[in-house]
Amino acid sequence: MRSYFFCIIWVVAVAATDSNPDATSIFNGEGCANDQLFQTRIRPQIQQLASNVQRIIDHVMSANESGRTYRQLAEFVDRFGSRLTGTKNLEDSIDYMIDLLKQEGHDNVHGEPVQVPKWTRGNEWARMIKPRDKKLNILGLGYSEGTNGQTIEAPIVVVRNFTELEQKAGLIPGKIVVYNFKYESYGKQAIYRHSGASRAAKFGAVAAMIRSLTPFSIDSPHTGMQSYDVNVTKIPAISITTEDADLFQRFSDRNEEVIVQIYSENHNEKDKGISRNTVSDVRGEKYPNEIVLVSGHIDSWDVGQGASDDGAGAFISWRALSVIKKLGLRPKRTLRSVLWTGEEFGLIGVYDYIKKHRNELKDYVIAMESDIGTFTPRGITYSGKNSTSQCTLWEILQLMHPINATTLTISTEGSDVQAFYENGVPISSLDTANDKYFYFHHTQGDTMTVEQPDDLDKCQALWTSVSYALAMLDDRLSR
Q: What is the pLDDT of residues 173-184, one digit of tens each?
A: 999 999 999 999
Q: Tell me what pLDDT residue 322 has.
A: 98
Percentage of the chain beyond pLDDT 90 is 95
The model's pTM is 0.94
Q: Tell me what pLDDT residue 23 has.
A: 63
CA angle 90, 92, 95 (to 5 degrees): 115
Residue 446 has pLDDT above 60, yes or no: yes
Query: Comparing 18-27, 156-165, 240-249, 430-439, which segment has the lowest mean pLDDT?
Result: 18-27
Mean confidence (pLDDT) of the chain: 95
**Amino acid (1-letter code) at residue 126:** A
Residue 123 has pLDDT above 70, yes or no: yes
CB 461 within 8 A of CB 404: no
Mean pLDDT, residues 378-393 = 97
Domains and CATH numbers, the chain: 2-118+271-472 (3.40.630.10), 120-268 (3.50.30.30)
Residue 261 has pLDDT above 90, yes or no: yes
Catalytic residues: 343
Q: Tell me what pLDDT residue 16 has.
A: 36
Residue 357 has pLDDT above 80, yes or no: yes
CB 233 within 8 A of CB 203: no
Residue 162 burial (10 A CB sphere; 0-12, 13-18, 19+): middle
Work out the pLDDT band at 15, boundaries 50, 70, 90: very low
What whole-number distance in Å separates Cα of residue 205 and Cα of residue 176?
A: 6
Residue 110 has pLDDT above 50, yes or no: yes
The partner residues of 112 in beta bridges, in order of sequence, read 277
Q: Tell me what pLDDT residue 12 has.
A: 38
Tell me which DSSP letter residue 415 carries. Answer: S
- Three-state secondary-structure class, residue 39: helix
Work out the pLDDT band at 4, boundaries 50, 70, 90: very low
Cα-based distances in Å from 293 to 213, 312, 316, 329, 363: 30, 17, 13, 17, 11
Peptide bond into 131 cis (omega under 30): yes
Cα-based distances in Å from 142 to 250, 272, 321: 28, 15, 33
Q: Tell me what pLDDT residue 24 has.
A: 84
Q: What is the pLDDT of residues 211-242, one digit of tens each?
A: 999 999 999 999 999 999 999 999 999 999 99
Question: What is the DSSP pairing of strand 107-116 with strand 273-282?
Answer: antiparallel
Q: Tell me what pLDDT residue 2 has.
A: 36
Residue 207 has pLDDT above 90, yes or no: yes
